[in-house]
Structure 1
Amino acid sequence: MSVDESYQDDGLKLHDLRCFDAVVRTGSFQAAAAALHRTHPSVFAAVGRLEARLRLVLLDRSGYRVLPTEAGRSFHAHVGASLAEIARLSAHARLLAGGEEPVLRVVLGDLCPLPVVLPLLSEFFAGVAATRLHLDYEAVGGPAGRLRHGTADLIFHRAEAMAVPVERIDLAEIRLVPVAAPGFLPPHLGPDLRPDQLRPFTQCVIRDSARGGNEDHFLVPGAHPCSVPDHAMKRELILHGMGWGHLPDFMVAGDLEAGRLVRIRGRHLPGGVEILAASRRSDLPHGPVAERLWRHLRARFPGR
């Protein structure tokens, strides 16, 4: 009997495929059992059953770490795609069965101007009775990570390339301005600073809230960094002469006008421009409230 005939006659159990996928991802039956909240014998039996049905040896069990065979690697690539598609179908079915989603998960990034975004959300959710807004804050790579891992329905953050399919609505341009408190830098450095001249001075930076994240934006090599959770804290430290750093223009316009902060931008410190965008996964289903919110944003920013 061929593998195709065996598949058609007996079928492949979803449980067996999930167990095989977990073993490949974790490298052991024990770890796979823990990840799936199953017993070690049940996972071992499931993979054995799958190999028997396929008449293939999928795993090399001879070493300390369980590794896929050549056939196992090829088969696992298709298993991963199939499990992802099943998850999407299940999520879509739950949306169809449940009507309006009970919770909409929105993440605000560190570059998000609250006076722009919060009125949009407030206006929209004032007309939504059955869906609760779950609002979170993440910094640097955190919002994209939440979208990538499927723990956010929508993020407001810088537009950037991601490892998953994403669609976005551009909302605004955010200019990042290098600033310091008056007198923080000695006058002999001059108005056109180079990054290497700033190495002796503390640089305030935002901590990356992504799991395992280590993105560095504008970090001067060799400078002593002082990490903070958000731009509000960063602004306070800079105002008190405890460091210098880049801050969004909407946050420092009043400080610059009043002389509480000074620009240190020059040819070698030009700052930067980021696009603030609303982004969501384009490969996952979205509930009716999420779709209405997306249309609400699209109507407010049609030309971006």
Structure 2
Amino acid sequence: MDGVKLHDLRCFDAVVAGGSFQAAALALHRTHPSVFAAVARLEEQLGLTLLDRSGYRVSLTEEGRLFHRRAQLALREVEHLQDYAGQLASGEETVLRVVIGDVCPRPGILGLLSRFFAARPRTRLHLDYEAISGPVERLMDGEADLIFHRANPSDPHLERIDLCEVAFVPVAAPGFLPFEDRHDIAPEAMRPFTQCVIRDTARRPSSENFFVIDGAHSCSVPDHMMKKELILHGLAWGHLPEWLIEDELRDGRLISIAGRHIPGRADSVAAVRRRDRPHGPVAEALWQHLRDGQAL
């Protein structure tokens, strides 16, 4: 295979696609003799007869069919390399790192990202999930270009586009709690009952208390879907985003215990990025896409 030319492979592929040397010459804007010579040279270098020239139209030999399959893969890879080099030369990002936080309404966020990246196939979306203070930590540590999560609006290092409000509702399965008035339960009365909480994925967890009852037994889970399952099965109680449990609240599989002592909470979900870091053209386009669309 030493000395095989890319030009010869392209000529061979064009002959197979067009069914003749003349068709290949027209497609490649070459002369008929130059295409014929390129394929002959390739066959000589490989020690293979790739084309059967005995009929009106050339056709692949069995060896030619097997070789052509691999040749097409190689030609496509070369095209990808050329596109990749052009992308690097233009400054366009090859990868954009995005982190979705636990509070995000995932269907809306994922739909938005899907539509954006479908129009930009040269940039790969690297998507991660983090909880509690994990998303902001990844952003501040330079491991994410953009996050969808709650963020401190007064942090001078960050800029944000507010997308929606997410209500968190304290819920339990019917019969899990013995209280007659479920909307007037004191926190200390909840201590005997297991509270389900989300694990902070940050390497340096936040000290902020997210709904945790002091002194109560608790269990931790990685995400709200697992938390919802535990609560539905009567194994714990906890706060869940309203968008995730609308059907269960409506049909009575979950009941709200929100009241003056154990209130719900609303969090603003935003697209957040570093203000003090440069952003490439694809990241800027995504930021503008979010600004134009805004509310989910």
TM-score using structure 2 length: 0.67
Deviations, residues 88-145 of structure 1 (Å, cap 9, x unaligned)? xxxxxxx985521110000000011111101110100011021100000000000000
What's 2:259 paired with? 266
Secondary structure of the residue aligned to 1:187 is coil
1:181 aligns with 2:173: yes
State whether residues 182 and 257 of structure 2, in contact with CA within 8 Å, keep that contact through their aligned partners in structure 1: no
> What amino acid sits opposite 1:149 in the alignment?
D
Distance 1:187 1:278 in 2: 40
| Match for residue 106 of structure 1 among 98, 120, 136 | 98
1:217 aligns with 2:210: yes
1:159 aligns with 2:119: no
Greater C-alpha Rg: 2
Spell out the pairing of 1:208-287 with structure 2 (5 A cutoff). Answer: 208-214=200-206, 215-287=208-280
Secondary structure of the residue aligned to 1:290 is helix
Secondary structure of the residue aligned to 1:234 is helix
Distance 1:144 1:161 in 2: 12
What's 1:133 paired with? 125
Report the CA distance between 1:191 and its aligned residue.
Answer: 3.5
Spell out the pairing of 1:24-173 with structure 2 (5 A cutoff). Answer: 99-160=91-152, 165-173=157-165
Report the CA distance between 1:216 and its aligned residue.
Answer: 2.8
Distance 1:133 1:265 in 2: 39
State whether residues 105 and 134 of structure 1, in contact with CA within 8 Å, keep that contact through their aligned partners in structure 2: yes
> What amino acid sits opposite 1:269 in the alignment?
I
> What amino acid sits opposite 1:283 in the alignment?
D
Report the CA distance between 1:188 and its aligned residue.
Answer: 4.5
State whether residues 179 and 185 of structure 2, in contact with CA within 8 Å, keep that contact through their aligned partners in structure 1: no
Report the CA distance between 1:228 and its aligned residue.
Answer: 0.3
Secondary structure of the residue aligned to 1:128 is coil
The unaligned stretches of length 5 or more in structure 1 are 1-94
Report the number of matched residues: 209
- How many percent identity over aligned positions? 60
Distance 1:139 1:99 in 2: 32
TM-score using structure 1 length: 0.66
Report the CA distance between 1:190 and its aligned residue.
Answer: 4.7
Tell me how large the CA RMSD over aligned residues is: 1.9
